[in-house]
Amino acid sequence: MHNTTKETCEACGARMTDWRISTDCILSRCPECLHIKRDLQRCSAHAREHAWGGSGFFDKIRTTMTMGRLNGLLPVKKDLKILEIGFGSGKMLSKFLEKGHTVSGIEAGMLKIDINERLKKEGKLYFDTIENIALPEGEFDVIYGIHVIEHVENPDIVFKKCYEALKKDGVVYFLTPDGRSNGLVLFKDAWWNLEDPTHVRFFSDKSVNIMLRKAGFTSVKTGTPVWDSLTLEINSMLRYFTGRPKKHGVLEGAGTKVIDAVFTPFALLIRSIYPPLSPTLEIIAKKT
Ligand SMILES: [Zn+2]
């Protein structure tokens, strides 16, 4: 069913169409750039009222891989200026601080607890949404956001602010759910990325390209890494088969951690054989 809606695509301006992925979930999808918008009224989360924290062990692997990717993008010198959007408890920023860089962070949530003491003292931390913050211009070598841009109210403003806050040759790095992942087609409304009610959009490679170029970026590269959101397929299957009854989502289930630990390696194997299943879009854009 592909009814045209009144909504226009926030990336390319085309008319969005309805995409009924299950009996009780309709997404809006752009027929031109495949950008997806999610309205909770039409596709509820069936679960938590809040964003998830993830599961410890697999989060560590993810953080290590992400740090590796970021380190590969950084110029080889000390005292880089680094900004993280949505720094959470500040694990990654603390590591950059320890390496001798100057770090700033933005956190709109209520995760002010458990922030590393040194980071609180030596980092420049903002507690608000990025849309509301005045950032210094031409300041940063790197700005990154790990699973952030699917939540923000206005990605145009966010990308523009990033562009202006970067130095020449500065880089932005984002990870975000991939709206073109076949996991969404396979798991439908049980796709774990739909469990978070604050996921309001899923970018496609094309839509994020359009929006970043609109903000001024001239070099935009996207990819689909297999190492992010490691337990997504297993958690999606749990959601699929348990009917998603949990108040705090699938991670609340008693056996979830064990099931994740046992089956995730198989899911990752399938992902590496069949990359269209990968749930994440990796985005690297440069200010030239
Ligand atoms: Zn579009």
Cα–ligand 1 centroid distance for 14 (angstroms):
5
- Going along the chain from its start, the domains and CATH numbers come out as 4-286 (3.40.50.150)
Q: Which residues are close to ligand 1, an ion, with C-beta < 5 A?
A: 9, 11-12, 14, 30, 32-33, 35
Cα–ligand 1 centroid distance for 15 (angstroms):
8
**Interatomic CA distance for residues 234 and 236, integer angstroms:** 5
Average pLDDT, the chain: 85
**The pLDDT value given to residue 47:** 61
Cα–ligand 1 centroid distance for 33 (angstroms):
4
* Phi, psi dihedrals of residue 188, rounded to the nearest 5°: 55, -130
Cα–ligand 1 centroid distance for 62 (angstroms):
30
Q: Which residue has the higher pLDDT, 99 or 50?
A: 99
Query: What confidence tens digit (pLDDT) does each residue in 173-184 have?
Result: 999 999 999 888
The structure's pTM equals 0.85
Rounded to whole angstroms, what are the CA distances from 55 to 4, 123, 156? Answer: 39, 26, 31
**Interatomic CA distance for residues 3 and 251, integer angstroms:** 35
Q: What mean pLDDT comes out for the span 125-137?
A: 93
Query: For residue 270, what pLDDT band results from cuts at 50, 70 and 90?
Result: confident
Query: What confidence tens digit (pLDDT) does each residue in 10-48 have?
Result: 999 999 999 999 888 899 999 999 999 999 888 887 665
For residue 84, the surrounding DSSP H or E stretch is: strand 81-85
For residue 32, the surrounding DSSP H or E stretch is: none
Q: Find how far residue 184's CA is from the centre of its chain.
A: 15
**The pLDDT value given to residue 248:** 55
Q: Which residue has the higher pLDDT, 126 or 277?
A: 126
Query: For residue 111, what pLDDT band results from cuts at 50, 70 and 90?
Result: low
Give all strands (DSSP E) within 41-165, no chain letters.
Answer: 81-85, 102-106, 124-126, 140-146
Query: What confidence tens digit (pLDDT) does each residue in 193-220 have?
Result: 887 888 899 999 999 999 999 999 999 9
**The pLDDT value given to residue 3:** 61
Beta carbons of 260 and 234 less than 8 angstroms apart: yes
Cα–ligand 1 centroid distance for 29 (angstroms):
8
